[in-house]
Every structure is written in C-alpha cells, then in structure tokens.
Amino acid sequence: MSFSSMLPYEWQIGWRYTRAGRAGRRNGFISFISFVSVIGIALGVAALIIVLSVMNGFQKEVRDRMLSAIPHVELLSADGAALPDWQALASQARGLPQVQAAAPFIAVQSLLARGEDMRGVVVRGVSPAAEGDVTELASQLKRDGVLDALQPGAWRIVLGAELARALGVRVGDPVTLIAPGGQVTPAGVSPRLKQFTVVGTFNVGHFEYDSGLALVHLDDAARLYRLEGPSGVQLRLADVQQARAVGQQLSSLLGPQVIVRDWTRSNAAWFDAVQIEKRMMGIILTLIVAVAAFNLVSTLVMTVTDKRADIAILRTLGASPRSVMGIFVVQGSASGVIGTLAGVSLGLLVAFNVDVIVPAIERLLGVAFLPGSIYLISRMPSDPQWGDIVPISVISLLLAFLATLYPSWRASRVNPAEALRYE
C-alpha cells in the first residue's frame, strides 16, 4: 500500500493533478504556467534570503570593526567631571557575570594640528596596562608594542591611519594638540597647546575612527585637560548583544549619578538606518514573492476550466463542494510548498557560498564589485539568520495558500449538469 493511498481522496486527487499537470501533453500550456509559478516563487524566496543574508553580513562586518575600536559599555560621570572613585565603580560593574573587563579612560573632543592642517579628533586617554583587555584595537596595538610606547609624561600619541594621512605625518613626527577651553592670561584667553610625538598608527577599517580617533596615555590626558582622574570606565562584555540589557542593570545598580551608555545607543542613528533599510528591502522583495505566488491564481483558474468534466463526475459520485475546493487547494498549496522549499535551498546554498561565488564572477567578468579603495569592505559578507529565513518561508507559504482560495471556490461552484451537457 502506497503512502498516497492512505491519504484522504482530496489529497490524492490534488497531488495527482499537480503531477499530471506537468507531465501530460494535453495540458502542456497549463503545465508551463504552473512550472513558471513554482520557479517564480523559488527565485523570489531565494532572492529575499540572499539579499537579507548579505545585508546581515555587512551589518555584522561593520559592527565588528566598530566594536574593535570602542567599548561595549561606558560608565560616565553625570556632571562631566572626573569620577570620584572609578576603582569602586569598576569593581561593581565586574560583579555582573556578563562583564569581562573594565578600564578607565578620558575622552575629549579636541583639535590636532600639523603645520597649517588642522583636524577635529576625539582624544582618548587610556591606561596601556588595562586597555588591551577591553578593546580589540588596544589588544592589537599592545601585541605590536605600540601601546606600551605611551608612557606618562612622554607626551606620545597614536593616530588613526586616515587621520595621519590627512595631516601628512609619520611615526616620529610631532603634532600639536589644542585642548578646548583655553587658559585666562593678562593678555586674554589663550588656547592650551601641547606638542605630542606620533609613535604609531592604527587601521580598524572604519572611516569614522580611522580619521577621527587619537590615543594618548591616561595621565597625559588628565594633565592636559586638567582633570583629577578618569572621566569614565569602559567595559567589555562576554556577549555584545547583551549590551543594552547589561546597561539597564548597571543603571539601576549605580544610580543617577552615573550615566551608562552602551554601544547600541552610541551608534543608534547608524543601526536604526540599517534596520529601516533592511525592513524596506524585505518588503520590496516580498512583493516579488507575492507576484509569483499569485501567478498560481491563473494556473488554477485554467486548471479548473480544463477539469470541469472531472469535477462534475466527482460531484455526481457524492463529493461535496467543500471536498472539490480542497482538491484544488491541495494542488495550489503543493506548488507553493515545492517553490518555497526550492527557494530556501537555493537561497541558503548561495548565501553560504557568497565568498566563493562572487570572486568567481568577478574573475569571469573582470570587474570588482567592492573596490578596496572605495569601500570599507572589499569582500561580500553573508550571514544567514533563521530569524529571517523562517518568516520568509511562512510568508511565501501563506501567500501561495491565499492564491488558491478563489480558483478553488470557483471549482466548488461548478454545476455538474452544465459541465456534462456537452461531454
């Protein structure tokens, strides 16, 4: 006994129509339209999965590069002054299981000058001994020996590669740091200037930080900006996705005198823009799937017209209108299921092999889709996520099912006497 014989006859007949519609010569045109509908659903689902996976990959790549230069969570003084007891604050934060490391810092907007060239920068005063445990950038600089060159009182500085290129400086060159809020003298207000020596550069692959971040020793920053100690504590978490939840815990734990800022809030505008773009792209590509799914309407309408005699015979044998409707719902839904499964398979196959497929196409066509001189990322990243794939599959199946309702309802309304009059 075959499996199909164990199913209700609506399922058996519906599945038989699905197969016969593709194999029979008499219904070749209907078979072709049905095949195009299935291919359309498959390509629409695959395109949706591939595009969202690539967008996830870009977001992950940029996020990882961003988080290599900035801490996951920052604890700042509410009045903008130095923290009175940053060691106790860091100890409290490390009491949470998600916090792996803590380090003090000072961050101030300043001007950096070299000759007539001047650039606005964020000067970050760091502790070389503790900074490597908090950010990947500091860890890399520590391995290269650059971070250890920042000694208190030596007035040395590490610049982003784009910033150094814009100022035209190399390792060993002097630069002048201009602090905000000058000092009052009998002759008026004069800016506070200090000359630093460039001891290294870094390149995290994110233009904002490569062109606008400078690292100095914590003690030098405190003396230059006239602070009594660190202005904040930066934290590294075991899971970056828990930054907002950990930030909320720390806010309730530390009270209103400490401002807690996680990386999602520090870069909220960028991540909100990416989420909106991803959502709109998903809606646009879902319309492609919808168009392909509703091609099933024309396919089933033609099938119902072709099978009027079969429907009439089934009705005379005792089949109810509901059963007739079920037959064509099964036929259309089967096409939707086949198209969705094929699309998911194709989409995942391409999404997991984008790093192989794209370079092969570039070599074949002799072009570069992401030139390294223009874009931050020179390769096409991909990150398929079940949170995208499952909704895509469900929406595709739902649209295919909805497309079957009207033709199936028309089939259930066929009058047996009318249909058999000319047979």
Q: Give the model's confidence band at 344: pLDDT under 50 very low, under 70 low, under 90 confident, else very high.
A: very high
**pLDDT category of residue 241 using cuts at 50, 70 and 90:** confident
Is residue 250 in a domain? yes
Considering the domain architecture, whether residues 349 and 392 belong to the same structural domain is answered as: yes
The reply to whether 92 and 128 lie within a common domain is yes
Judgement on whether residues 379 and 353 belong to the same structural domain of the protein: yes
Whether the Cβ atoms of residue 261 and residue 16 lie closer than 8 Å to each other: no
Query: Cα 318 to chain center, whole Å?
Result: 55
* Phi-psi map region of 366: left, alpha, beta (phi>0 left; psi -120 to 50 alpha): left
Q: What's the confidence (pLDDT) of residue 333?
A: 85
**Identity of the highest mean pLDDT range in 25-39, 90-104, 184-198:** 90-104
Residue 62 pLDDT > 60, yes or no?
yes
Name the more confident of 417 and 93: 93
Q: What pLDDT band is residue 421 in, cutting at 50, 70 and 90?
A: low
Together in a domain, 85 and 218 = yes
Among residues 190, 221, 255, which one ends one of the domains? 255
**Rounded CA gap, 173 and 196, in Å?**
9
- 320 and 243 within one domain: no
Whole-angstrom distance, CA of residue 108 vs CA of residue 363: 46
The band of 196, judged by pLDDT with boundaries at 50, 70 and 90, is: very high
Contact 75, 87 (CB under 8 A): no
Q: How far is CA 168 from CA 160, 177, 214, in A?
A: 12, 15, 15
Task: Please tell me the total count of domains within the chain.
Answer: 2
pLDDT of residue 29: 60
**378 CA to centre of own chain:** 17
Q: How confident is the model at residue 278 (pLDDT cuts 50, 70, 90)?
A: confident
In a domain, 52, yes or no: yes
For 258-276, what is the mean pLDDT? 82
pLDDT reported for residue 5: 43
The more confident residue out of 308 and 376 is 308
Residues 89 and 213 in one domain: yes
Residue 117 pLDDT greater than 80, yes or no: yes
Classify residue 222 as exposed, middle or buried by CB count within 10 Å of its CB (0-12, 13-18, 19+).
buried
Whole-number pLDDT of residue 126:
93
**Is 302 within 8 Å of 30 (Cβ atoms)?**
yes
Instruction: Report CA torsion sign: 383, 389, 395, 400.
Output: positive
Judge if 88 and 39 occupy the same domain.
no
Torsion, Cα 312 316 317 323, to 10 degrees, reads 60
Q: What pLDDT is attached to residue 6?
A: 38
> What does the pLDDT average to over 252-264?
86
Q: What is the pLDDT of residue 15?
A: 62
Best CA proximity match to 290, nearest among 399, 393, 391, 407: 399
Helix (H, G, I), strand (E, B) or coil at 189: strand
Q: How many CB atoms lie within 10 A of CB 293?
A: 29
Domain assignment of residue 40, yes or no: yes
At which of 207, 222, 255 does a domain end? 255
357-393 pLDDT, tens per residue?
Answer: 888 888 888 887 776 555 666 678 889 989 889 999 9
Query: Which tops the pLDDT comparison, 270 or 121?
Result: 121
Is there a single domain that holds both residue 227 and residue 284?
Answer: no
String of b and e for 146-168 (b: at least 16 CB within 10 Å)?
Answer: bbebbeeeebbbbbbebbbebbe
Task: Quote the strand ranges of 127-187, DSSP E.
Answer: 156-160, 174-185
Question: Does the pLDDT value for residue 3 go beyond 50?
Answer: no
Would residue 143 count as lying in a domain?
Answer: yes
Question: Does 89 map to a domain?
Answer: yes
Per the structure, the complete domain to which residue 343 belongs is given by: 4-64+271-420
Same domain, yes or no: 40 and 149: no
Do 381 and 330 lie in one domain? The reply is yes
Q: Residue 378 has what pLDDT?
A: 65
Give 412's strand partners.
Answer: none
| Position 334 in a domain | yes
Query: Are residues 188 and 84 part of one domain?
Result: yes
Would you call 258 helix, strand, or coil by DSSP? strand
Please give the residue that has the higher pLDDT: either 111 or 26: 111
The string of DSSP letters for 100-123 reads EEEEEEEEEEEEEEETTEEEEEEE
Dump pLDDT digits (tens) for 217-233: 999 999 998 888 898 99
Going by pLDDT thresholds of 50, 70 and 90, the confidence category of residue 123 is very high
Higher-scoring residue by pLDDT: 217, 274? 217
In whole angstroms, give the CA distance from residue 408 to residue 322.
9
Query: Any residues with CB less than 8 A from the CB of 66 and at least 6 apart, and which?
Result: 204, 206, 209, 263, 267
In a domain, 72, yes or no: no
- Residues of the chain with pLDDT > 70, as a percent, come to 87
For residue 8, what pLDDT is reported?
66
pLDDT for residue 10 is more than 90: no
Same-domain pairing of 198 and 241: yes
The predicted pLDDT at position 20 comes to 56
pTM above 0.85, yes or no: no
164 inside domain: yes
Beta bridge pairs of residue 73: 235, 262
Tell which of 255, 290, 322 closes a domain: 255
